[in-house]
Amino acid sequence: MTRMAPPPGSGCRDIPVLRERGQREVFCGLTGIIWLHRKMQDAFFLVVGSRTCAHLLQSAAGVMIFAEPRFATAILEETDLAGMADAQEELDREVARLLERRPDIRQLFLVGSCPSEVIKLDLGKAAERLSREHAPHVRVLSYDGSGIETTFTEGEDACLAAMVPVLPETQARELLLVGALPDVVEDQALSLLSAMGIERVRCLPARRADEMPGVGPETVFALTQPFLGGTRDALMRRGARHIAAPFPFGEEGTTAWLAAIAAEFDVPREQFEAATDAPRDRARRAVAAATEMLNGKRIFFFPDSQLEIPLARFLTRECGMEAVEIGAPYIRQDVVGPDMDLLAPGPVLSEGQDVDLQLDRARAARADLTVCGLGLANPLEAEGLATKWAIELVFTPVHFYEQAGDLAALFARPLRRRAALKLEAAE
Amino acid sequence: MKLSVWTYEGPPHVGAMRVATGMEGLHYVLHAPQGDTYADLLFTMIERRGKRPPVTYTTFQSRDLGADTADLFRRACQDAVARFRPEALIVGASCTAELIQDDPGGMAESMDLGVPVIPLELPSYQRKENFGADETFYQIVRTLAEPMERTARVTCNLLGPTGLGFRHRDDVAEITGLLADMGIEVNVTAPMGARPADIKRMGAAHFNVLLYPETGEAAARWCEKTLGQPYTKTVPIGVGATRHFIAEVLALAPEAQAPSEAGLRLPWYSASVDSTYLTGKRVFLFGDATHVIAAARIARDEMGFEVCGMGCYNREFARPLRQAAKEYGVEALITDDYLDVERAIEAAAPEMILGTQMERHIGKRLGIPCAVISAPVHVQDYPARYSPQMGFEGANVIFDTWVHPLVMGLEEHLLHMFRDDFEFHDGAGPSHHGGAATPRPTSQGAVEEEAPDQVRGTASSDALVWLADAERELKKIPFFVRGKARRNTEAFAAGRGQTEISIDTLYEAKAHYAR
């Protein structure tokens, strides 16, 4: 099987992590809806929350909100806060109205928010009741996307984890790919696995309700996203086994991820190489083209999506960058451990955030590129720091071989732009 | 509970952020859960600010709930004062913090932070963004401003411009210039650009100019009552309103002189012959009440349009809007549900929409030209170039903005003349709308293509049936007046109790409505 070069030193799995608490400049889990609803074509996401939640979705969704989106907010009003029983009835009425207007909807997610959690509105019970009421046409599930419980991509984790208990039982030995990938990326993954001779592959989430995979003791699963710790736990509770691997970013990450699956399914070395040699070569060439700009540059990650550690691994090992600080909202070793093993010691690893203190560190470090959210990007640019806004990494196809060059280019572009703009006054 | 996809306004604490972000030397400590920092990006991205909004969030999480959150809030206040050294602090709760009842105002006041602390009570489940801005500015003024001796020269304050306001930056510049032209200096512009120290000296002005009632009226009323400063009632958007505003200012400051109108071009542009085609264009107006009321006057009196519908999303201003609508003979639409707006627009079948970003998209969906006149707006409506709405240059900007989406007179004329021409047929659309001209389908194709349309045509009204001939004739009418022709004909037929529409009905209706 293909071996990866070990990192210099012993990796950074065991180095001390800087844990901070304080003001966190991050999105809440509701934001996950924006990409999840594109993936699950017959699902509707109904947030039970406040005007703030609706405003957040609108701000995050940008212009997408006008294309008959399959998400909305049931905004709590004064009267809903007065008595609990009333709120449940109100919810039933709004759901009935919604389903009447959208008969194409097969799965409805009631998504909890901070206000609905704080007033302890029982959405789990509501989902059960509504499921009975609207069966068999519509299945209603609930999960919590509130800021008090979830950070940004954890919303997807909470959503998928809520689906796991109701997936059908199967005894088949199947591979499950877990994580909502853009369709084009998912298709590439399936065709790579098929070329390796692995045919029984299912995806969670599936594109439609009637294609949802089964799960059971013979199921093995691989995560395609590092933020799915909760879904991993839920799948393991149903007897499925996790294939731990680095995440499929870059040529090296994709190869390592595929290799871990190949090992699980006893794929012969020749077949693995036949399936991967050509795309590996393509990926290496594409990354090399973008890497010229990144080589030797220092990078600083603010916490956002939990993609930070695998991306830092890609950028340092395949693009020649040097990481100064890698901030992540949460670090789960049982998920990103294989990536940490490949990451050379040196950078500060930080978990959680006190944004003002972290900004002080970022200003002191003056990295060549700072990866951060949209609330920080322009202010840091105005201070003379080049930034790459992080949310794009969640929306853009970046996984596997064919996107490796694009992924590197996303980081190279702000630096190229900085070099291209000559805006100072003429001498 | 109310189902909502799009909201015209954010929650009230976003209004408070707009005030804080507009000002300097003021800091906002907001008791809010993790995630509410999303609102920062409205300022850093949509308005493209190069600074973080001066807001510290407590960002409590689930594990903090209980006694901990109050402590979290206290620490956030101390840290914010130590780090940012503001001249004053505003404190409040977001919608979730409102539910956990920590009383941020009470806590901060008891902390002796060494700077004035202004507590905000913003009821998140009843009120919205504009209320939040208005109330916050009012509380700041009420706490900091004091009666004082008037300036020797005539000065005034400009009240209402905030962060994230639609064209507030350039409106302030335009009105400051206009007043300078009249010999009147601006004492303090607030909230935008003001420091708490500036708010303290607001009392020195002779009168106030209320630019935006939505965000400055409560403060203006307080200043009138407590500081004895009268305030202007006319918002100077449009030529007539600007002249009216000038007259109001001259009454408040008799020693001032009338400003020059040298740069004003709207009246001549509107009078020039190419604008004749604008006459009677039916427009639908929606947005915040102030901009809609102003736009209606411009539309009818300065552009020669017909106002066929108007409404606003901020119910605080429902009364003045209803009153204005009466003057135009239309029923006011007061709603914050964009589906209501979409239905009203469909029913009115206007030739143009003047609205918010939302109406721009409704217009796109319905194929109706649209110009943006009010918040909420997107990043493209925070332009780099100078583009006020107020004053004389504002009138010029408005003329251009409104006319561009319409088919210009000459082009409309050509479309009429050559409507059977292969490049000017129905489907081609105006050349500057980006739609590539598609060749007219061959006669065979045309017949087939029209078939489904006829079916739709016959179903357009329950009681009325368009006969095939009449439907074909209707298609010969240029697309930009076809909606009106269809409506008029159906109204005409219905009025006479007819159930079938023939070619004759079509032309009789045309004669009936001829002006």
Question: Least CA distance to A78: which residue of chain B?
Answer: B125
Q: Quick one: A260 and A383 in the same domain?
A: no
CA B90 – CA B17 distance, rounded (Å):
10
Cite the DSSP H helix spans in B382-499. 391-403, 409-417, 443-458, 468-476, 479-495
Q: Is B101 touching A (CB cutoff 8 A)?
A: no
Mark A83-116 as b/e (b = at least 16 C-beta within 10 Å). eeeebbebbeebbeebbeeeeebbbbbbbbbbbb
Q: Please tell me the number of Cα atoms within 13 Å of A7 on its side-chain side.
A: 21
B421 is in an annotated binding site: no
Question: Given A115, A150, A185, which residue is the final one in a domain?
Answer: A150
Task: Kindly report the nearest CA distance between residue B178 and chain A, in angstroms.
Answer: 31
Q: Is B42 touching A (CB cutoff 8 A)?
A: yes
Question: Least CA distance to A113: which residue of chain B?
Answer: B96
Q: Quick one: A107 and A235 in the same domain?
A: no
Q: Dihedrals φ, ψ of B203, to 5°? A: -65, -15
- A414 within some domain: yes
Which range of residues forms the domain containing residue A128? 29-150
> What pLDDT is stored for residue A243 in this prediction?
98
On whether the CB atoms of residues A380 and A372 are closer than 8 A, the answer is yes
Q: How many CB atoms lie within 10 A of CB A133?
A: 13
Cite the DSSP H helix spans in A62-153. 78-82, 84-101, 114-118, 123-134
Choose the CATH number for B145-252 among 3.90.79.10, 3.40.630.10, 3.40.50.1980, 3.40.50.1370: 3.40.50.1980
Q: Quick one: A143 and A185 in the same domain?
A: no
Average pLDDT, chain B: 89
Among the listed residues B40, B64, B103, B274, the single catalytic one is B274
CB contact under 8 A, A375 and B34: no
Amino acid at A420: A
Q: Which CATH class is domain B408-429+464-514?
A: mainly alpha
Q: Quick one: A327 and A190 in the same domain?
A: no
Task: Kindly report the nearest CA distance between residue B502 and chain A, in angstroms.
Answer: 35
CB contact under 8 A, A149 and B60: no
CA B504 – CA B510 distance, rounded (Å):
10
B36 is in an annotated binding site: yes
> What pLDDT is stored for residue B445 in this prediction?
39
> What pLDDT is stored for residue B66 in this prediction?
75
Question: Least CA distance to A97: which residue of chain B?
Answer: B3
- A142 within some domain: yes
CA B322 – CA B330 distance, rounded (Å):
9
Q: Which residues on chain A are in Cβ contact (under 8 Å) with B40?
A: 25, 374-376
Q: Which residues on chain B are in Cβ contact (under 8 Å) with A377?
A: 44-45
The domain at B12-128 falls in which architecture? Answer: 3-Layer(aba) Sandwich (3.40)
Task: Kindly report the nearest CA distance between residue A411 and chain B, in angstroms.
Answer: 19
CA B441 – CA A234 distance, rounded (Å):
58
Per-residue pLDDT of chain A in tens (427 residues, 90 and over written 9): 445 566 556 788 889 999 999 999 999 999 999 999 989 999 999 999 999 999 999 888 776 666 678 999 999 998 888 776 688 899 999 999 999 989 999 999 999 999 999 999 999 999 999 999 998 999 999 999 999 999 999 999 999 999 999 999 999 999 999 999 999 999 999 999 999 999 999 999 999 999 999 999 999 999 999 999 999 999 999 999 999 999 999 999 999 999 999 999 999 999 999 999 999 999 999 999 889 999 999 999 999 999 999 999 999 999 999 999 999 999 999 999 999 999 999 999 999 999 999 999 999 999 999 999 999 999 999 999 999 999 889 988 999 999 999 999 999 999 999 999 987 765 5
The structural domain count of chain A equals: 3
> What pLDDT is stored for residue B457 in this prediction?
42
* CATH at A299: 3.40.50.1980
Chain CA centroid to CA B108, Å: 35
From the list B14, B44, B365, which residue is nearest A379 (CB)? Answer: B44
Minimal CA–CA distance to A117: which of B69, B70, B33? Answer: B33
Q: Quick one: A248 and A299 in the same domain?
A: no
From the list B3, B52, B59, which residue is nearest A24 (CB)? Answer: B59
- A132 within some domain: yes
From the list A23, A27, A151, which residue is nearest B57 (CB)? Answer: A23
Mark B239-248 as b/e (b = at least 16 C-beta within 10 Å). bbbbbbbbeb
Question: Given A241, A264, A287, which residue is the final one in a domain?
Answer: A264
**Is the entire prediction scored with pTM above 0.95?**
no
- A192 within some domain: yes
Q: Note whether B145-252 and B265-404 share their fold.
A: yes
- A157 within some domain: no
On whether the CB atoms of residues B382 and B48 are closer than 8 A, the answer is yes
> What pLDDT is stored for residue B85 in this prediction?
97
What lies within 8 Å, CB to CB, of B245 at 6+ separation is B232, B234, B235, B236
Task: Kindly report the nearest CA distance between residue B450 and chain A, in angstroms.
Answer: 27
Q: Quick one: A373 and A336 in the same domain?
A: yes
CA B113 – CA B74 distance, rounded (Å):
10
> What pLDDT is stored for residue A422 in this prediction?
83
From the list A56, A77, A151, which residue is nearest B1 (CB)? Answer: A77
Q: Quick one: A192 and A145 in the same domain?
A: no
Q: Which residues on chain A are in Cβ contact (under 8 Å) with B56?
A: 23
A319 is in an annotated binding site: no
Q: Quick one: A281 and A422 in the same domain?
A: yes
What lies within 8 Å, CB to CB, of B304 at 6+ separation is B270, B275, B278, B279, B280, B281
Task: Kindly report the nearest CA distance between residue B495 and chain A, in angstroms.
Answer: 33
* Interface residue of A24, A50, A51 to substitute, partner B, most B CBs within 10 Å: A51
Residue A6, burial from CB neighbour count under 10 angstroms (0-12, 13-18, 19+): exposed
Q: Is B247 touching A (CB cutoff 8 A)?
A: no
Minimal CA–CA distance to A255: which of A232, A274, A280, A236? Answer: A280
Residue A365, burial from CB neighbour count under 10 angstroms (0-12, 13-18, 19+): middle
Q: For residue A270, what are the CA distances in angstroms to A195, A251, B69?
A: 11, 18, 59
Task: Kindly report the nearest CA distance between residue A94 and chain B, in angstroms.
Answer: 7
**Category of A203 on φ-ψ map: left (φ > 0), alpha (ψ -120 to 50) or beta:** beta
Q: Is B61 touching A (CB cutoff 8 A)?
A: yes
Q: Dihedrals φ, ψ of A72, to 5°? A: -165, 170
- A12 within some domain: no
> What pLDDT is stored for residue B448 in this prediction?
39
Q: How many CB atoms lie within 10 A of CB A334?
A: 12
CA B388 – CA B400 distance, rounded (Å):
12
pLDDT digits (tens, 9 = 90+) for B43-71: 999 999 999 999 999 999 998 887 788 99
- A168 within some domain: no
> What pLDDT is stored for residue B281 in this prediction?
92
CA B341 – CA A19 distance, rounded (Å):
49
Q: Quick one: A309 and A417 in the same domain?
A: yes
CA B66 – CA B54 distance, rounded (Å):
27
Q: Quick one: A181 and A108 in the same domain?
A: no
Domain parsing of chain B, residue ranges: 12-128, 145-252, 265-404, 408-429+464-514
Q: Is B96 touching A (CB cutoff 8 A)?
A: yes
Peptide bond into B191 cis (omega under 30): yes
Q: Quick one: A238 and A328 in the same domain?
A: no
The answer to whether the complex's ipTM is over 0.90 is yes
- A85 within some domain: yes
From the list B48, B79, B126, which residue is nearest A378 (CB)? Answer: B48
Tokens of A138: 């519509």
CA B438 – CA B428 distance, rounded (Å):
6
Q: Which residues on chain B are in Cβ contact (under 8 Å) with A60?
A: 38
* CATH H-level superfamily of B265-404: Nitrogenase molybdenum iron protein domain (3.40.50.1980)
Residues of chain B falling short of pLDDT 70: 407-462, 478-480, 515
Active site residue B274: yes
* Interface residue of A114, A120, A130 to substitute, partner B, most B CBs within 10 Å: A114
From the list A29, A146, A376, which residue is nearest B52 (CB)? Answer: A376
Question: Least CA distance to A59: which residue of chain B?
Answer: B42
On whether the CB atoms of residues A343 and A302 are closer than 8 A, the answer is no
Q: Quick one: A348 and A420 in the same domain?
A: yes
Minimal CA–CA distance to A250: which of A343, A144, A176? Answer: A343
Q: Is B45 touching A (CB cutoff 8 A)?
A: yes
